[in-house]
Amino acid sequence: MALAAFLLVPATHAEEAASGDSGDGIDLTAMTLSFSEEFEDLDVSEWGPGTRWIAHTPWSGDFGGARFAAPKEGFPFTTDEGVLRIEASSDAEGDWRSGMLASVDTKGNGFAQQYGYFEIRARLPLGSGVWPAFWLIGRDRSKATAEIDVLEFYGDKPEAYSSVVHVWHKGGEHYSKGKRVEVFKDADPTEFHTYGVKIDPVFIRMYFDGRLVWKTETQPEHRQPMYMLINLALVEEGVRALTPDPSYMYVDYARAYTLD
C-alpha cells in the first residue's frame, strides 16, 4: 500500500539478533490460535476506541481512489452466514466509497503480534480499478513504517497477485522486495482461497492455499508486533467508467497464530 506518512521503528528492533528460523512448512496443529475473526457479526467503528476493528488506517485514514466509508447498516460491510462482504460503489455524485478494516486503533490499541502466522480466506473481485488487499503494519511507527503486503490484487491483471515487503523510512529511504505470485493460471481468484504469511526473526514467508509461494529475509524493522488490515480499495488512476459498480470482496475469516 502507498503510505502517506513515513515514520520509523526504534533502534531496539534493529539491534535484535536474527535467530529462530521456523522452516518453510505450515503446521497449524503446532501453533496456537491467537486471533480469530469468523465474521458471524462485525465489531467495527470508524475510529474506535473499544471496537475490534476500525474503518480507516490508524495513522491517516484513506488512500487510493475511493474514500473508506464510516460503517453504517448495510454499507460498506455486511455479514451473512459467517462471510464478510466489503462493497465498493459510487454515490449519486459519482464519488467512490469502499471499506477498510484495521485491527488496531489510532492509539495502537487492539490486536498486534510479533512473529507468527497470519491468514485470511477470501474471494476477490475482477475489473478495472479494483484493488483488494490483506496486509500488516508494524505497531511502532516512531522512526519507520514496516509493511508486509500479503496480498495485493489488481482486478484488471487477474493472472496473479503481488506479495511485497517494505520499510518506509522517515528520511525518504525505502526498502522493498516483492514477487508476482502467478497462481491464477490454475486457480480462480473469484473463488475462496487462503492468503497467509509466516514471520519469524529470519524469514517472511508467503503462502497461497497453504503452499509456500515466496520468502524473503526478515528486516530488523519487521521484528515487532504487526497488526492486520483488510480492504477493498480502488487504484488512483483507474478509469471509473470501467470499474464494476458495485464491486465486492468476500472474506470468510481472518486468523493469527503464534509459533510454538
Give the tens place of pLDDT for each residue, 222-249. Answer: 999 999 999 999 998 767 789 999 999 9
Q: Count the helix, strand and coil residues of the chain and give each as a percent rounded to the nearest 5.
A: 5, 50, 45
Instruction: State the pLDDT confidence band at 112, using cuts at 50, 70 and 90.
Output: very high
Summarize the confidence of residues 99-123 as an average pLDDT: 98
Average pLDDT over residues 23-52: 97
Q: How high is the pLDDT of residue 240?
A: 77
- 3-class SS at 28? helix
CB count within 10 Å of CB 255 equals 20
The b/e string for 110-146 (b: 16+ C-beta within 10 A; e otherwise) is bbbbbbbbbbbbbbbbbbbbbbbbbbbbbbbbebbbb
Q: What one-letter code names the amino acid at 129?
A: G
Q: Check residue 238 and give its pLDDT.
A: 66
The whole-number pLDDT of residue 241 equals 82
Q: Mean of the pLDDT values across residues 113-139? A: 98
DSSP for residue 71: P
pLDDT, mean over the chain? 92
Output the pLDDT for position 61: 79
Burial class (CB in 10 A: 0-12, 13-18, 19+), 51: middle
- Give the mean pLDDT of 183-205: 98
200 Cβ neighbours under 8 A, 6+ residues apart:
20, 21, 22, 115, 218, 259
Residue 22 has pLDDT above 90, yes or no: yes
d(CA 8, CA 23): 28
Task: Provide the pLDDT for residue 1.
Answer: 52
Q: What is the mean pLDDT of residues 171-196?
A: 97
CA distances in angstroms from 181 to 79, 94, 201, 208, 250, listed in the order given: 29, 33, 23, 9, 20
231: number of CA atoms within 13 Å, CB side?
32
2 pLDDT higher than 90:
no
Other Cβ atoms less than 10 A from the Cβ of 66: the count is 30
CB atoms within 10 A of CB 36: 10
Of 53-62, 77-86, 130-139, least confident by mean pLDDT is 53-62
Weakest mean pLDDT among 5-14, 60-69, 142-151, 237-246: 5-14
Nearest Cα neighbor of 249 from 134, 165, 104, 94 is: 134
Mean pLDDT of 12-40: 82
